[in-house]
């Protein structure tokens, strides 16, 4: 063996010998919460409702049970970061170590506090877990986008939605934009309030396709479309699998028939592909749609649409969307003569919801269908394709049900 | 890292012991003097001359000691690895002399390591992404430059020289690139700002590279200590090995993307023409 090859072997061996002892974990997340019930569907609408995965940005976990049942103590299991210690916090603030599987008193919609301390003891997070009764929602809904506030980080705006939405709020891609553009002010985000800009002089919401800057280019996500939807934005997937970051829809007990919404559009002039190259002869288009889908498969598994299949999943039973051109295979067709009809003047649009399958009344009553409201300033924005500067103004959305 | 230093000391001790045995004290004085003369500088015992060196460089640019955030080195391979240089030397006595050299080099390495809770702070055009990364980190660096060593030479035996002393390096060009993604166990994520911040997955399907201008934060000058041994294989031909132990951080002081100092530590093995 010559000296060079000895040296080649020696360097990694020397480095390996230098690996220091592993430090204790610093993370302290509750990753999921499971409730143990003998007959879950007596209390919940779906069997899968007894387990909730907790995304890293959430610290509040709310289970919803049928309006007419009561629940007392429930054996509860929390999956936490390896090595983290969980304490149940009593009302007087005293903390007692929590053992998985111990019963927790969730009666009277009590909010239980859990304090999770990392393995190294340096970090902690506080979680709230509760079980609430389902509140029947109205079928006919109207959204005026008047109620909004800054999120907990103070970086961007969030809008209040009806109670049956996850967290009772509208979601958008702003948390993803925050990763790329840390310097952005709340009004620089893709989804912002437009004060006094509505058709009636009230506030409306503005969706704008924004450049994501140097970090966006680095991860090949060069633009962010303004968006509004109901469901969950799981920021953990925002860089890896952004279409999976949007978990779309909320269980809904009414059959939607028609969406009416006021819209105004200012199109960005330069259409670009994912690599940022200019595409000539293509005009950007806005998108507004309502999707109604079966949220459980034949085996009882939970179905949640995401950015990949929100308009194509076979579980979709009803769909209403602004008009677009489509290819013969059904995929979206980019074009230079859009037919959506949205102009730079406010107009009210009526979008009928077309059913391809019968809606089962019993399943409907038992929250077996979910509704998703989607909108975007660039209809291909989920694929990071569109025109920077496209703006969709939206106000007074109304849903009419059967 | 004590192990590391101890290893090199051991190598030196072994070399010393070897030379002592190879030239035992037995035999007559004349023969010994002849050997010192024969393998000495060009003129007598206290002359001077030049040594032209060509070598293969291997090593790494590393924090010392390796921080606990580095959990596993998955792979290591050298990049570049060429050193060409010239030394002027002068022996003042049978045993002692000095040398001054200029060694042009192209050196570097590529390594893949698993890290846990590795603090990253990336800034590009005023946008900052920071937090704690757990997963796989692949780093490549290459440096082109010249090292100017000023060494004291100890002639341990007629054919063995040991030189040591400080050096100054000037880099003509440096690159430092890298990418973070998930490791073989499928773990790859950033906790934004703190370990309780948003958990953002980063995988090899969509890995996140270091910014293009990362190397702009490297200092053009470096200094350290050089240790060099020469074995006179033939009248004009040396076999040599040297170690350049960098003692100044490669990064500018205000560079926050990497939370620890990194030092270039490179060894060269080669042949030299001596006259």
Are B176 and B109 in contact by the 8 Å Cβ rule? The answer is no
Structurally, chain A folds into a number of domains equal to 2
Do A98 and A147 belong to one domain? no
Do A83 and A190 belong to one domain? no
pLDDT score at B13? 46
For residue B192, pLDDT beyond 70:
yes
Q: Tens digit of pLDDT for each residue in B225-243? A: 999 999 999 888 999 999 9
Structurally, chain B folds into a number of domains equal to 1
Do A390 and A346 belong to one domain? yes
Q: CB distance from B62 to chain A under 8 Å?
A: yes
Do A155 and A57 belong to one domain? no
Chain B residues within 8 A of A27 when measuring between CB atoms: 191, 195-196
What would the mean pLDDT of A254-272 be, rounded to a whole number? Answer: 97
Which residues are within 8 A (CB) of B189 and not within 5 positions of it... i.e. 6 or more apart? A236, B133, B134, B135, B182, B199, B200, B201, B202
Q: Tens digit of pLDDT for each residue in A156-179? A: 999 999 999 998 999 999 999 998
Which of A100, A133, A166 terminates a domain? The answer is A133
In a domain, A55, yes or no: yes
In this prediction the ipTM stands at 0.85
C-beta atoms of A29 and B199 within 8 A: yes
- How many other C-beta atoms can be found within 10 angstroms of the C-beta atom of residue A167? 16
C-beta atoms of B72 and A19 within 8 A: yes
pLDDT averaged over chain B? 86
CA B45 to chain centre: 32
* Closest in A56, A175, A181 to B199, CB measured: A56
For residue A73, pLDDT beyond 70:
yes
In a domain, A217, yes or no: yes
Q: Tens digit of pLDDT for each residue in A201-233? A: 999 999 999 999 888 888 889 999 999 999 999
The CATH number for A117's domain is 2.60.40.2340
pLDDT score at B47? 81
* Closest in B7, B73, B197 to A12, CB measured: B73
Which residues are within 8 A (CB) of A113 and not within 5 positions of it... i.e. 6 or more apart? A88, A89, A126, A127, A128
Q: List, in sequence order, every beta strand (DSSP E) within A144-235.
A: 148-150, 157-159, 191-194, 204-208, 210-211, 223-224, 227-229, 231-233
Q: Is A266 exposed, middle or buried (0-12, 13-18, 19+ CB in 10 A)?
A: middle
> Which phi-psi region, left, alpha or beta, contains residue A40 (left: φ > 0; alpha: ψ -120 to 50)?
alpha
C-beta atoms of A239 and B1 within 8 A: no
Q: Could you list the residue range(s) of the whole structural domain that residue B130 is in?
A: 2-274
pLDDT band per the 50, 70, 90 thresholds, residue B39 = confident
Which of A133, A166, A199 terminates a domain? The answer is A133
Chain B residues within 8 A of A220 when measuring between CB atoms: 206
Do A196 and A169 belong to one domain? yes
Q: Tens digit of pLDDT for each residue in A74-86? A: 999 999 999 999 9
Is residue B246 within a helix (H) or strand (E), and if so which, with residue range?
Answer: strand B237-246
In a domain, A267, yes or no: yes
Residue A135 to chain B, least CA–CA distance (Å): 31
In a domain, A291, yes or no: yes
Q: Tens digit of pLDDT for each residue in B108-141? A: 999 999 999 998 877 777 788 889 999 999 999 9
What would the mean pLDDT of A25-42 be, rounded to a whole number? Answer: 95
What would the mean pLDDT of A104-122 be, rounded to a whole number? Answer: 95
Q: Could you list the residue range(s) of the whole structural domain that residue A348 is in?
A: 141-401
pLDDT score at B43? 55
Do A127 and A157 belong to one domain? no
C-beta atoms of B60 and A118 within 8 A: no
In a domain, A23, yes or no: no
For residue B1, pLDDT beyond 70:
no
**B residues 213-242 closer than 8 Å to A (CB):** 241
Are B39 and B158 in contact by the 8 Å Cβ rule? The answer is yes
For residue B14, pLDDT beyond 80:
no
- Alpha helices (runs of H) in A96-147, residue ranges in sequence order: none
- How many other C-beta atoms can be found within 10 angstroms of the C-beta atom of residue A292? 25
* Closest in B60, B203, B267 to A240, CB measured: B203
The CATH number for A265's domain is 2.60.120.890
What would the mean pLDDT of A338-361 be, rounded to a whole number? Answer: 96
Residue B173: strand pairing partners: B144
In a domain, A336, yes or no: yes
Three-state secondary-structure class, residue A215: helix
* Closest in B117, B198, B201 to A57, CB measured: B198
Query: Could you give the CA distance from residue B176 to residue B171 in angstroms, rounded to a whole number?
Result: 13
Do A248 and A183 belong to one domain? yes
Interface with B, mutate which of A6, A22, A56 (most B CBs under 10 A): A56
Backbone angles phi and psi of A178, in degrees to 5: -60, -35
Chain B residues within 8 A of A14 when measuring between CB atoms: 3-4, 7
Q: Which of A1-5, B146-150, B164-168 has the lowest mean pLDDT?
A: A1-5
What would the mean pLDDT of A87-111 be, rounded to a whole number? Answer: 94
Do A52 and A181 belong to one domain? no
Specify the pTM.
0.82
What would the mean pLDDT of A318-324 be, rounded to a whole number? Answer: 97
Do A147 and A84 belong to one domain? no
Long-range contacts of A39-47, Cβ-Cβ distance < 8 Å, separation of 24 or more = A42/A66, A42/A69, A43/A69, A43/A71, A45/A134, A45/A251, A45/A366, A45/A367, A45/A368, A46/A295, A46/A296, A46/A300, A46/A302, A46/A367, A46/A368, A47/A300
pLDDT score at A16? 56
pLDDT score at A255? 97
pLDDT band per the 50, 70, 90 thresholds, residue B17 = very low
Do A123 and A224 belong to one domain? no
Residue B120 to chain A, least CA–CA distance (Å): 14
* Closest in A12, A18, A181 to B65, CB measured: A18
**Which CA distances in Å does B99 have to A143, A170, B149, B150?**
83, 74, 8, 6
Among B149, B44, B162, CA closest to B99: B149
C-beta atoms of B70 and A20 within 8 A: yes
Roughly what angle, to the nearest 10 degrees, separates helices A3-17 and B2-22? 150
Do A254 and A297 belong to one domain? yes
Do A78 and A159 belong to one domain? no
């Amino acid at each position: 063996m010559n000296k060079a090859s000895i040296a080649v072997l020696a360097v990694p061996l020397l480095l390996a010998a230098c690996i220091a002892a592993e430090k204790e974990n610093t993370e302290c997340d509750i990753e999921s919460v499971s409730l143990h019930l003998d007959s879950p569907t007596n209390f919940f609408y779906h069997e899968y409702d007894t387990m909730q995965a907790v995304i890293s940005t959430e610290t509040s976990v709310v289970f919803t049970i049928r309006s007419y049942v009561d629940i007392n103590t429930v054996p509860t299991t929390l999956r936490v970061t390896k090595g983290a210690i969980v304490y149940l916090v009593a009302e007087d603030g005293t903390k007692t170590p929590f053992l998985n599987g111990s019963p927790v008193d969730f009666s009277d919609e009590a909010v239980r506090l859990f304090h999770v301390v990392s393995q190294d003891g340096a970090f902690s997070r506080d979680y709230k877990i509760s079980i609430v009764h389902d509140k029947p929602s109205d079928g006919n809904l109207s959204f005026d986008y008047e109620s909004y506030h800054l999120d907990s980080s103070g970086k961007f705006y969030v809008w209040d939605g009806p109670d049956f939405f996850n967290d009772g709020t509208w979601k958008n891609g702003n948390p993803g934009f925050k990763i790329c553009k840390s310097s952005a002010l709340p009004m620089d985000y893709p989804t912002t309030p437009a004060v006094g800009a509505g058709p009636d002089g009230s506030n409306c919401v503005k969706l704008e396709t924004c450049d994501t800057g140097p970090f966006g280019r680095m991860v090949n996500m060069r633009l962010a479309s303004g968006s509004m939807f109901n469901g969950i934005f799981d920021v953990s997937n925002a860089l890896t699998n952004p279409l999976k970051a949007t978990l779309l829809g909320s269980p809904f007990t009414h059959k939607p028939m028609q969406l009416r919404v006021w819209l105004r559009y200012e199109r960005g002039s330069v259409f670009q592909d994912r690599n940022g190259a200019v595409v000539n002869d293509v005009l950007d288009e806005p998108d507004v749609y309502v999707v109604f889908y079966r949220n459980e498969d034949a085996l009882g598994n939970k179905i949640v649409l995401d950015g990949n299949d929100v308009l194509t999943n076979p579980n979709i039973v009803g769909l209403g969307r602004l008009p677009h051109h489509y290819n013969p295979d059904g995929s979206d067709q980019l074009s230079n003569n859009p037919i959506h009809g949205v102009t730079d003047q406010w107009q009210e649009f009526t979008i009928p919801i077309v059913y391809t399958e019968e809606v089962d009344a019993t399943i409907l009553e038992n929250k077996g269908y979910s509704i998703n409201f989607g909108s975007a300033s660039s209809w291909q924005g989920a694929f990071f394709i569109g025109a920077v500067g496209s703006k969709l103004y939206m106000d007074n959305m109304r849903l009419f049900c059967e | 890292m004590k192990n590391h230093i101890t290893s090199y000391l051991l190598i030196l001790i072994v070399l010393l012991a070897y030379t002592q045995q190879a030239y035992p004290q037995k035999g007559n004085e004349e023969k010994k003097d002849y050997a010192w003369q024969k393998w000495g500088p060009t003129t007598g015992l206290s002359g001077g001359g030049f040594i032209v060196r060509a070598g293969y460089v291997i090593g790494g640019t590393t924090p010392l000691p390796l921080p606990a955030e580095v959990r596993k080195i998955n792979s290591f391979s050298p990049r570049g690895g060429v050193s060409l240089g010239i030394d002027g030397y002068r022996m003042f006595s049978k045993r002692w002399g000095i040398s001054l050299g200029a060694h042009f080099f192209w050196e570097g390495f590529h390594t893949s390591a698993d890290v846990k809770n590795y603090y990253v702070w990336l800034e590009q055009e005023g946008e900052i992404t920071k937090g704690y990364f757990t997963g796989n980190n692949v780093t490549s660096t290459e440096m082109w430059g010249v090292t100017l060593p000023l060494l004291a030479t100890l002639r341990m035996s007629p054919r063995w020289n040991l030189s040591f002393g400080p050096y100054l390096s000037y880099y003509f060009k440096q690159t430092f690139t890298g990418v973070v993604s998930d490791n073989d166990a499928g773990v790859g994520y950033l906790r934004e700002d703190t370990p309780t911040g948003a958990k953002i997955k980063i995988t090899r399907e969509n890995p996140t590279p270091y910014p293009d201008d990362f190397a702009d934060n490297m200092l053009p000058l470096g200094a350290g200590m050089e240790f060099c041994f020469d074995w006179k294989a033939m009248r004009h031909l040396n076999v040599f090995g040297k170690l350049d132990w960098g003692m100044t951080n490669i990064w500018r002081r205000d560079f926050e993307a990497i939370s620890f100092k990194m030092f270039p530590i490179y060894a060269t093995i080669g042949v030299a023409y001596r006259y």
